[in-house]
Amino acid sequence: MTPGEHAPDPRTAREEPAAGGLYGPGPAATGPAAAEDPGEPPAWPGTPEAPDPGEARPGPRTRIRRGLVAAIAFAGLVLAGVSVVAFLKDGQAGHPPRRPTAPAAGDVRIRVAGTEFCLGERRGARTGQVHQVPCAAAGLPRYSLAELGGGRWRIVSHHPDLGPGCSGIPSGGRIPGAAYEDAACGDPTRVEAFALEAYGTPVEGYRIVPADPATPGSCVTVVGDREAAWARLAQAACAPDAAGQLFDFDRD
């Protein structure tokens, strides 16, 4: 110690530990410099995270390719829907509509043209009333055609409980809206002979026309809701468009 220098006061002098010394890192910086460091920004709930700069983003070609894939998939669904509609309408996808079968002697299933309904009776009923029935459930009674000559036909019914019969119109066809029904053959008061007349070019179906009825111009007709099963058949005026009046004769 040189002259003029004063010895340090042992009450105030102390040794400062070096940063990162024996006791680990020094205390966090305080003061103005620390206040200027903003740190990480607050993350609010629901705030999307910023994309990683290093993450690959889809380019224009990738987006176009994805759009084409989606368009092709949509077109496939549309074509599938069209095929289903064609199948339900025509019976077989990609094929023309069913062509009506011309009448011929022998066993037949009488179909309402352009539908999946066939003629039949309600099981357990004894009225003989003929209805349109889903063809898959038809078969009571079974029908056959018998040629009478002169373009006339008899529609014969074969009922498992009531025996053979004939389809016809009661009361000589005098009553408008009279039922088309199955009953015992040979009743002189019934119309049991019919002309089976082709309709349309090309043929769309065949009208069942009572022969020599008391009310000319009558046709066997599906009446009521023609889209529903069990709509009944009756005598009605032949319509210009033959709506509900066309049939074909599927051979069993």
Domain definitions of the chain by residue range: 106-251
Contact 88, 95 (CB under 8 A): no
What is the arithmetic mean of pLDDT over 56-79?
53
pLDDT band at 139 (very low <50, low <70, confident <90, very high): confident
Confidence of residue 81 (pLDDT cuts 50, 70, 90): very low
Angle at 236 between CA 232 and CA 240, to 5 degrees: 115
**How does the average pLDDT of the chain come out, rounded?**
76
Q: What residues does 144 pair with on adjacent strands?
A: 107, 156
Structure tokens at 100: 């009506």
Could you report the per-residue pLDDT of 1-49, keeping only the tens digit for each?
444 444 444 444 444 444 443 333 444 444 444 444 444 444 333 334 4
CA angle centred on 243, ends 241 and 249, rounded to 5°: 110
196 confidence band (pLDDT: 50, 70, 90):
very high
pLDDT of 62 over the 90 cut? no
pTM metric for this prediction = 0.63
The whole-angstrom separation of Cα 213 and Cα 227 is 28
The domain 106-251: what is its CATH number?
Answer: 2.80.10.50
Residue 182 CA to residue 174 CA, distance in Å, equals: 17
Residue 183, token pair as written in the block: 């009953």
pLDDT digits (tens, 9 = 90+) for 94-129: 445 678 899 999 999 999 999 999 999 998 888 999
